[in-house]
Amino acid sequence: MALDFEELNCFIETILAANDGDHFTTLGIRPEYVERHRAGLSMPYDKALVGDPDTGVIHGGAITALLDTCCGFAAATALDDLGLTPTIDLRIDYMRPATPGLTVYADAEVYRVTESVIFTRAIAHHGDTERAIASVVGNFFRMELDLFAGMRRDFRAAQVLKNSELKAGGSGNE
């Protein structure tokens, strides 16, 4: 079974946006791209994420959450079908503070896939990858795909329903 990237993209968009008020929407994380062994996300500046009220710099924890999420999605592109990849561990180096007011971008890549572990790395930046705010290495658990059979079934059923509603809504407007 080969991974359908269009479907994975939908899956990621659903995870990020489907539950208003959860940690993803609280951080304001948005998808940028997803392709084999790579994923990109962005997180616009938000005062609610500020860690130092004197400077307005966002807290490292928000960057950690963004990088964890980005590496996790990159890891999911290494699977043969839709599934989740729990984080085993992360190590983050903070190279410079994020600039107040600017969007933080994250680019993650998978550099090794083994039977049980997916090895990833990522950087966070403001658009210039040569001036990284933080860099991370993270390992993710590659679980049995059967474990996510129910999740895939539910997601696909919801997508079918959503598409038929869109179609019905579209014809109603014509």
Q: Which stretch binds other proteins (CB under 8 A): 33-41, 81-89, 110-118, 158-166?
A: 81-89
The reply on whether position 53 binds other proteins by CB under 8 A is: yes
Query: 123 Cβ partners below 8 Å, 6+ apart?
Result: 106, 107, 129, 132, 133, 134, 135, 136
The reply on whether position 107 binds other proteins by CB under 8 A is: no
* Candidate residues 21, 169, 170, 172; the one interacting with other proteins per rule CB under 8 A: 21
Terminal Cα-to-Cα distance of the chain (whole angstroms): 39
**What's the closest the beta carbon of residue 133 comes to other proteins, in angstroms?**
12
Return d(Cα 72, Cα 2) in angstroms, integer. Answer: 19
Tokens 């539950």 correspond to what residue?
19
Look at residue 172 and give its three-state secondary structure: helix
**What's the closest the beta carbon of residue 126 comes to other proteins, in angstroms?**
18
The reply on whether position 92 binds other proteins by CB under 8 A is: yes
The reply on whether position 62 binds other proteins by CB under 8 A is: yes
Q: Between residues 34 and 133, which has the closer beta carbon with respect to other proteins?
A: 133
Look at residue 41 and give its three-state secondary structure: strand
Q: Count residues near other proteins (CB under 8 A).
A: 36
How many Cβ atoms sit within 10 Å of the Cβ of residue 17?
A: 14
The tokens describing 160, both together, are 């079918």
Residue 132 contacts residue 125 (beta carbons within 8 Å): yes
Q: Between residues 95 and 173, which has the closer beta carbon with respect to other proteins?
A: 95
The reply on whether position 60 binds other proteins by CB under 8 A is: yes
* Candidate residues 4, 5, 19, 164; the one interacting with other proteins per rule CB under 8 A: 19
Residues that bind other proteins (CB under 8 A): 19, 21-24, 26-27, 47-54, 58-62, 64-66, 68-69, 86-94, 97, 151
